[in-house]
Every structure is written in structure tokens, then in C-alpha cells.
Amino acid sequence: MKVESFQIASWEEPEKGLVIVENDEWVLVKYVPVDYQIDGYKLYRKSFIEERLYTSREVVIEKVLNLKGVKEEPPIGFRFGLTVNLFGSAIDLLKWSEQKYGLFEFQDDSETEVFYGKISEVTDRLLTIDMIKADGSVEENYDFEFDVNEIRAIAFESDYFTSMKLLWEDKIKNKTL
């Protein structure tokens, strides 16, 4: 078991996580937002990790997580793909999240902005999404194109992610009644 902190390019605060698995491009962690809490999973794109830290603080977090019986297991059905498409694996990972959960969550160069949605279109290196807003409603063809190569983190199974999923599913259910 190894907990690390990750300094992400253009983000002020480092992120912590229990390292689960990694490949050449991404590292999957059980996300540690504060102290000894686990809140879902995060994938960090290695090309944006400026520094990986392992200090006495991470050692203490490891000890607590061990005592709590936290397992180093990826989500059911998760594995890094063997091939990388034209856009890199970010699109593959977003598609996996959308297929498994119905939506995805990602962050780019802003550590304070988080985007929830579904893939609308991918052209060249640009991603257009149907954005899921905080009330669960969907803004189709959200009028912003994201540079796929700027995606720094992809997250799923956090409390907030699950809440957004439930709100979105409730909006869909109530629309069809």
C-alpha cells in the first residue's frame, strides 16, 4: 500500500491518493480529499504531474488506511486499455466512465472547475460534451470545446459524483413520466 501526493501542473494544492495501478500515461488512485477519508477514484495524467511526494504525512495516512482495512482494488471492470486511440487514452477513459456510470467527471487546467457530462462529439483534439449541471439537468452541446490533451484528472464513484448521477437519473425519470 502506498499513498502519494501529486502536484498537478497549474493547480495550487497537491492531491493525495492511495495508488492502485498505473500505466505509462495515467495513475489510478483511491482519492484522499482530506485526512484519512477515501472518496472515490481519480485518474491523474502523468504528463501533468510535476511532483510525486511521499513524506511522513503520507506514511501516517497509509497506516490509518491499513488499519481501516482499505483495499487497493480498482473499480469493478476497470483496466487500462492495451491500445491508445488517436486522441490518447483520455477519450477511452471518459467513454469507459460514461458506459459504466452513465456520465463522466473531469478536470483540466483549473483545479476549481469540475465538468460532468456525456460525450457529444470528438473532432481532432477537441471534445464537446452534453454538460450535466448541478441540478441534474443536461445542457446539450455545451458551447465550449475542451482540448482533450489538457485533461489532467478523471474521477468517479465519489460522493459528489454519485449525487450528480442520482440527480441526472431523477431528471430523466421524471421527464418520461
Q: Hey, where are the domains in the chain?
A: 3-176
pTM for the structure as a whole: 0.92
pLDDT-derived band of residue 48, with 50, 70 and 90 as boundaries? very high
3-state SS assignment for residue 69: coil
- Cα distance between residue 24 and residue 47, in whole Å: 9
pLDDT recorded at residue 169 = 95
**3 touches 61 (CB < 8 A):** yes
In angstroms, the CA 64 to CA 70 distance is 9
Closest CA to 97 of 47, 141, 40, 150: 40
Burial of 38 (0-12, 13-18, 19+ CB in 10 A): middle
Q: Would you call 99 exposed, middle or buried from its count of C-beta atoms within 10 A (0-12, 13-18, 19+)?
A: exposed
For residues 4-11, average pLDDT = 98
Distance CA 120, CA 125 (A): 14
Q: What is the spatial distance between Cα 156 and Cα 86, in angstroms, rounded to a whole number? A: 24
- Expressed in angstroms, the distance from the first to the final Cα of the chain is 48
Phi/psi at 175 (5° precision) = -70, -35
Q: What is the pLDDT of residues 122-177, one digit of tens each?
A: 988 899 999 999 999 999 878 789 999 999 999 999 999 999 999 999 998 887 65
Q: Stretch 38-54: mean pLDDT, rounded?
A: 97
Arithmetic mean of pLDDT, 10-22: 96
